[in-house]
Structures are given as C-alpha cells and as structure tokens.
Amino acid sequence: MIQGMINSFCNLFKKSATIDFPNEQMKISKNYRGLINHSDSDCIWCDVCEKVCPPGAILFLQNMDGSKKYNYNPYLCIYCGECVRNCPKPNEALWQEENIAFSSSSKKEVQDDWFSLEDECKIARVKYKEHKESLKKSQKVEQPLS
C-alpha cells in the first residue's frame, strides 16, 4: 500500500503521456507513408498508377487534344504506395512525401464530386477514342486522294 501511495504521488508530477496537440506536433517517423505527389513534366502518361491503385484514388482525365489531367484524392487514398512502386519513373514523376492529409470539414476539400469525376473520365476516354478513330478514318480517306 505504501508503494501504491508513493506511486500515485510520483504520478502527480510525471509528464503526461498524450501529446499537447496544437502546441506540440505529432511525431512522424522517417519514411512515413504520406501524400502522393505528381509532376506533370516528368510523367510519361502510361496510366500504370491508375490501374494498380486499389481504391482508385488516381484518375486521369483525358482531354480532346491528347493530353491528360492528373487527379488525386487524398481522402480515398489508402497510402499503400503501390502506385509509386509501379511507376516507371518513381521519385521523378510520382513520389510519396512524409506529410499527411489534414482532416477537413468543408465539402469542397474532401472532393465530394469524385464519383462524378470518375464517370466523367470514363466518358472522356470513350469520346477521345471515337475522336481518334474518326481522325484516322479521315486521314485514310484523304491519303488516296493526294
């Protein structure tokens, strides 16, 4: 019992085990798996990262001129790092940083329109394919003439 009293007395002066959050930052270890970053200039647009991503947190929106737009949803991402491991140019086109996504309260930030974007990407791809085929056809028609 005396030991117990000494213990409880000592505990009064111990530092608390929790982190005093806004004043003190959370400890993040080295090589923590955080947000995914992408660089437009280094990417070769092979779409591998989109295909391997388990939850589908990377989407490429096809533009009609052939270029693509990279979309990433940090609130769908499971931070597995699979995209980076499969990218042919890791650490240049796609890399994982050690920072984490912050919690958010506004709808715009959590990308509420992600699922409509998914549909949009699908439609855009089909359209682009048709567009390309019709372009090819018109080229073929043109060639014999010239």
Partner 1 sequence: MTKVLNVPLGSQHVALLEPVSFKLTTKNERVVEVTADVGYVHRGIEKACETKFKFKQIPFVVSRVCGLCSITHATTSTLAIEKLLNLEVPKKAKYLRILALELDRIHSHMLCLAHTAENAGYEALFMRILRDREHVMELQEILTGNRVHFDYVCIGGVNRDFDNDLNSTFEKYLKIFENFTTEIKELFLNNWSLSLKYKGVGAISADRALEQSLAGPLIRACGLKIDVRSEFDFLPYSELDFNIITSDGGDVYGRNMVRLDEIFESIRLIRAVINNLPEGDIQTKVKGNPDGEAIVRLEAPRGELFYYIKGSKKPNLDRVRIKTPTFTNIPSMIDMLKNQEYANVPAIIASFDPCLSCTAK
| Interacting residues with ligand SF4 (CB under 6 A) | 36, 38, 43-49, 53-55, 57-58, 77-83, 87-89, 93-94
- Closest contact distance (angstroms) between CB of 13 and ligand SF4 is 44
- Closest contact distance (angstroms) between CB of 33 and partner 1 is 4
Closer residue to ligand SF4 in complex, CB, 49/121 = 49
- Closest contact distance (angstroms) between CB of 46 and partner 1 is 17
Closer residue to partner 1 in complex, CB, 82/92 = 82
- Closest contact distance (angstroms) between CB of 28 and partner 1 is 8
Is 97 within 8 Å of 32 (Cβ atoms)? no
Nearby residues of 69 by Cβ (< 8 Å), 6 or more positions away: 60, 61, 63
User: Tokens representing 134?
Assistant: 């019709």
Is 84 within 8 Å of 36 (Cβ atoms)? yes
Closer residue to ligand SF4 in complex, CB, 87/121 = 87
Closer residue to partner 1 in complex, CB, 69/122 = 122
What does R_g of the chain's alpha carbons equal in angstroms? 25
Say which residue the tokens 């048709």 belong to.
130
Is 36 within 8 Å of 77 (Cβ atoms)? yes
Q: Which of ligand SF4, partner 1, none interacts with 30 (beta carbon under 5 to 8 A by kind)?
A: partner 1
Q: Which of partner 1, ligand SF4, none interacts with 31 (beta carbon under 5 to 8 A by kind)?
A: partner 1
Q: Please name the helix (run of DSSP H) or strand (run of DSSP E) that holds residue 52, with its range, or none.
A: helix 48-52
Distance CA 93, CA 113 (A): 25
